[in-house]
Amino acid sequence: MTAAGHGGELAARLDAITIEQLRAGGTTKWARPDGAIGAFIAEMDFGTAPAVTAALHDFVDSGRFAYPPKDLGAQMRRATADLLAREYEWQLDPERIRPLPDVLAGFVAALRHFSAPGTKIIVPTPSYMPFLTAPATEGCEVIEVPMRAGPGGFADDLDAIAAAFDAGGGLLVLCNPHNPTGRVFTRAELTAIAEVVQAKGGRVFADEIWAPLVFGGHRHLPYAALSEATAAHTVTAVAASKGYNLPGLKCAQLVLSNDEDAALWREVGFLTEHGAANPGMVATAAAYDRGGPWLTEILRYLERNRATVADFLAARLPRVGFHVPEATYVAWLDLSDYDLPGGPAAFLRERAGVACTPGTDCGAIGAGHVRLIFAMPHPLLVRALERIAAALETHAA
């Protein structure tokens, strides 16, 4: 189908972006010495919403580059509270929404302040890579809990999570929507997780950074908003940075859903909040308040890319294991059937010229897998898939 059938003018513009333009942008994803197609960093090649760009222009003209003026923080908190109420019926006092430089800073804060000393961090795998590596920097051990792959996609293994709490786990990392599997957990799944956490007296770090990027037919439910119990045992991080492509502007939000955490944060949160940047706050408020129409078009474009990945794999590479993601722009590909020399990521980089994340970076369960980021111009995605198919077909021949 033509780009016009998938979002009109914006889709046509995105289709026309060339690899040379992307390389000239100098990003880590594209300005690679090996010239490979960049499919390993979770960012979109699509710029951001016009409403965000306009707000940033105004901000630059205002010259408000001193330490964050109070109204910028207040505007960001209000816009986040409005978004959470509008999209998810999660009603919060804006004061409960605290600025972070990024979600990872929120994770580090959770390790320091919301995880009992000496307890371990429970990370369902495959996982976003830093959840496995950051805890060591805070002196925390990780317990990897492999998810189970069923016909409907990946799901948490509740018995294994319960056993991990019994083995000294204190804080469960709940990434939803989930990177890298693309799952959007249902109310029943989240409730079952909550029952385990509650029974074990555990805590949850809910990373909901991918919430804006959920595809049709699925619905994101903020975990902390499920019940009084989840509000009491959870600290949540959200951000506009994935949905609106703003990670370099340095602003995310920590959502505190109980009085005790809010009181503790007043004592300990200063240094973390200090990292949030003025332009990030401005961009976040503009994205949440006025970025919706752009996001809708981007989701349509991503749905087309997702369909292309699924159709291509089914037709050309049926030996690649793949569950169609319900959210995100991450494809988690199981190439273990090919038994590729040096592992699949190195093989695809060297033989196909496509740079993906090695699955093993996402946990031991990721052996034989790669993580492919499909938020790129559609013609480049097709080129990447063709090159992957050619390399795998040559290898298998």
Ligand X SMILES: Cc1ncc(COP(=O)(O)O)c(C=O)c1O
Question: Does residue 209 belong to the site contacting ligand X (CB under 6 A)?
Answer: yes
Which range binds ligand X by CB under 6 A, 100-108, 253-261, 279-287, 385-393?
Answer: 100-108
State which of residues 90, 128, 165, 301 lies at the interface with ligand X (CB under 6 A): 128
Question: Does residue 276 belong to the site contacting ligand X (CB under 6 A)?
Answer: no
- Per DSSP, what are the bridge partners of residue 237? 207, 254
Yes or no: say if 348 and 342 are a contact pair by the CB < 8 Å rule: no
Print burial letters for 327-353: b (CB count within 10 Å at least 16), e (below 16): bbbbbbbbbbebebeebbbebbbebbb
In angstroms, what is the minimal distance from the CB of 180 to ligand X?
Answer: 8
Question: Does residue 356 belong to the site contacting ligand X (CB under 6 A)?
Answer: no
Whether the bond between 135 and the residue before it is cis, its omega within 30 degrees of 0, is no
The rounded distance, in Å, linking the Cα atoms of 182 and 148 is 14
The rounded distance, in Å, linking the Cα atoms of 27 and 22 is 8
Residue nearest to ligand X (CB): 102
The rounded distance, in Å, linking the Cα atoms of 394 and 380 is 21
In angstroms, what is the minimal distance from the CB of 284 to ligand X?
Answer: 11
Measured in degrees and rounded to the nearest 5, phi and psi for residue 10 equal: -65, -45
Question: Does residue 103 belong to the site contacting ligand X (CB under 6 A)?
Answer: yes
Question: Does residue 361 belong to the site contacting ligand X (CB under 6 A)?
Answer: no
Question: Does residue 125 belong to the site contacting ligand X (CB under 6 A)?
Answer: no
In angstroms, what is the minimal distance from the CB of 32 to ligand X?
Answer: 18
In angstroms, what is the minimal distance from the CB of 248 to ligand X?
Answer: 9
Question: Does residue 380 belong to the site contacting ligand X (CB under 6 A)?
Answer: no
Q: Which of residues 157-176 bind ligand X (CB under 6 A)?
A: 175
Question: Does residue 247 belong to the site contacting ligand X (CB under 6 A)?
Answer: yes
Please report how the helices 259-268 and 103-113 are oriented relative to each other, as an axis angle in degrees rounded to 10.
Answer: 100
Footprint on this chain of ligand X (rule: CB under 6 A)? 42, 102-104, 128, 175, 179, 207, 209, 239, 241, 247, 252
